Structure formats: structure tokens, C-alpha cells
Amino acid sequence: MFGLIGKMRAQPGKRDALLEILLSSTEGMPGCLSYVIAKAEDDEHAILITEVWETEASHKASLTLPQVQAAIAKARPLIAGFDSQVRTVPVGGVGLPR
């Protein structure tokens, strides 16, 4: 399995709109086992995304999907930046294979 945990910053006052775009583009991504989008409690502009994929290749392939490309284009003006991204090797958990 392949995982990513990322922290994104929305433009001031745009976090909810950015969340809607992200949430609307997560269906139908082959190889995606989990894609969780969360608000940071301690930062009104921060969004945390935790992803688990069957393989790194399935993650890369998802970036070429039409709905993902459309979401990226729509979201780009609302994104202030990216604080961090951590690559992980998931070993299991609720909803994931061991």
C-alpha cells in the first residue's frame, strides 16, 4: 500500500469552498482505498488530507482522471499553499486490508 498525509492552506475565507471542491472529486478513483479530508481544529485555513492507495502508481494515475483535473483547476485559485506532505506505508486499519 501507498499513503500520503498532506496539509494544505486555503486562501482566507475560502476553506469551506475548497473543501466542497475536494469532496466532490473523490469518487471513482481506481486503487483508492481511503481518502479522508479534514479541517484542522487549530487553524481556520488548514485542510488535512489522508490518502491510502493500493500502489503509488494508482495514486499517480488518479491525477490524470478528468474529474480530478477539473477539481485541481477549480481549486487552484482557492489554495494559498501546501505546508507539508508525508509519504507513508500503511500496514492496515479499519477498512484497509492487512
pLDDT digits (tens, 9 = 90+) for 49-97: 999 999 999 999 999 999 999 999 999 999 999 999 999 999 999 989 8
- Model pTM? 0.90
- Three-state secondary structure call for residue 56: helix
Q: How confident is the model at residue 26 (pLDDT cuts 50, 70, 90)?
A: confident
Q: Which CATH number fits domain 2-88: 3.40.50.170, 2.40.30.10, 3.30.70.100, 3.40.120.10?
A: 3.30.70.100
* Nearest-angstrom CA–CA distance, 23 and 95: 19
Q: How many residues does the chain have?
A: 98
Rounded to 10°, the helix 66-75/15-24 angle is 170
- Sketch the domain layout of the chain as residue ranges: 2-88
Mean predicted lDDT score pLDDT of the chain = 95
Helices (H), 1-98: 15-24, 56-62, 66-75
The span from the CA of 53 to the CA of 32, in Å, is 5
Residue 61's DSSP bridge partners are none
Residue 25 identity: S
